[in-house]
């Protein structure tokens, strides 16, 4: 099957506890290691996404900047 450059697809099985293993190739591609924290985004129509670390960090920063008072966010 031909796939567009930079596009990947994997299948995973969901365990009894609702957990799944991120495939090794995906972990290597996105530099995911044991102990890392990932951000899981969900949209009822579009599904689930796990953004790369850089995107995760930007989202977290945006959230904290919206929650913290301006003076605390600048520290």
Mean pLDDT by runs of 10 across the 75 residues of the chain is 87 95 94 90 92 82 72 54
DSSP 14-32: --TTS--PPPHHHHHHTT-
Rounded Cα–Cα distance for residues 70 and 26 (Å): 38
Give the tokens for residue 13.
Answer: 């099985």
Is there a domain that residue 44 lies in?
A: yes
For position 1, what pLDDT does the model report? Answer: 66
Residue 10 lies in a domain: no
Number of independent structural domains in the chain: 1
Domain of 62, in residue numbers: 33-74
In a domain, 13, yes or no: no
* Burial bucket for residue 11 (CB in 10 Å: 0-12, 13-18, 19+): exposed
**pLDDT of 53:** 84
pLDDT at 55: 83
What pLDDT is attached to residue 58?
83
Residue 21 lies in a domain: no
Q: What tokens does 45 get?
A: 């129509």
């Amino acid at each position: 099957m031909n796939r567009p450059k930079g596009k990947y697809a994997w299948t995973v099985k969901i365990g009894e506890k609702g957990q799944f293993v991120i495939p090794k190739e995906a972990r290597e591609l996105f530099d995911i290691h044991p102990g890392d924290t990932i951000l899981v985004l969900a949209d009822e129509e579009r599904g689930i996404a796990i953004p790369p670390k850089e995107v995760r960090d930007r989202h977290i920063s945006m959230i904290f900047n919206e929650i913290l008072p301006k003076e605390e966010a600048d520290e």
